[in-house]
Amino acid sequence: MSAHTPEERLKQHGIVLPTPAAPVANYVAAVINGSSLIVSGQLPLVDGKLYATGKLGDNVAVELAVEAARYSMINVIAQVKAAIGDLSRVKRVVRLGGFIACTPDFTQHATVMNGASDLAVAVFGDAGRHARSTVGVPSLPLDSAVEVEGLFEIA
């Protein structure tokens, strides 16, 4: 039997959403504006600790960063659930933004960000297909290797 709701799909993939991380500066984790839900950038926190620190092209392997992007997306989804209660209210994942801490010669940004994008589609089905930007940056908060933000259409 295939899972029909985002919550069922999370369970099917063995994912338990964590308690959403509190903002560490002067911003909020999520904002609802009409039918839009904007989720601030989320780091790859697992049990309160960063899953991957450092830079791609230097001391972080692509495979590790793909998993970090997946964990960042889990944290984005946790923020969505905290903001709207029921993930079935997500009508569409409109856009994901990915930030990859990397050296200037690193070029596999898209591969890393697929860790987040693949999870969005796995959890939200066709509604998880989204527009995306992925950029390399010299550094991220707490020396995180990856950060993911999201824009959602909600009911």
Strands (E), 27-130: 30-33, 36-42, 45-46, 49-50, 90-101
- Model pLDDT, residue 24: 82
- Indicate yes or no: pTM above 0.85: yes
Residue for token pair 């290797």: 145
152: its two tokens: 């959602």
Handedness of CA 118, 120, 123, 125 (dihedral sign): negative
Radius of gyration of the chain, Cα coordinates, nearest whole angstrom: 15
- Model pLDDT, residue 2: 64
- Model pLDDT, residue 102: 98
| DSSP code of residue 123 | H
| DSSP code of residue 103 | -
How far is residue 18's CA from residue 123's CA, in Å, rounded to a whole number?
15
| pLDDT in 10s for each residue of the chain, 155 residues | 567 999 999 999 999 999 999 998 999 999 999 999 999 999 999 999 999 999 999 999 999 999 999 999 999 999 999 999 999 999 999 999 999 999 999 999 999 999 999 999 999 999 999 999 999 999 999 999 999 999 999 99
- Delineate the domains of the chain, giving CATH numbers in brackets: 6-154 (3.30.1330.40)
User: Where on the phi/psi map is residue 126: left (φ > 0), alpha (ψ -120 to 50), or beta?
Assistant: alpha
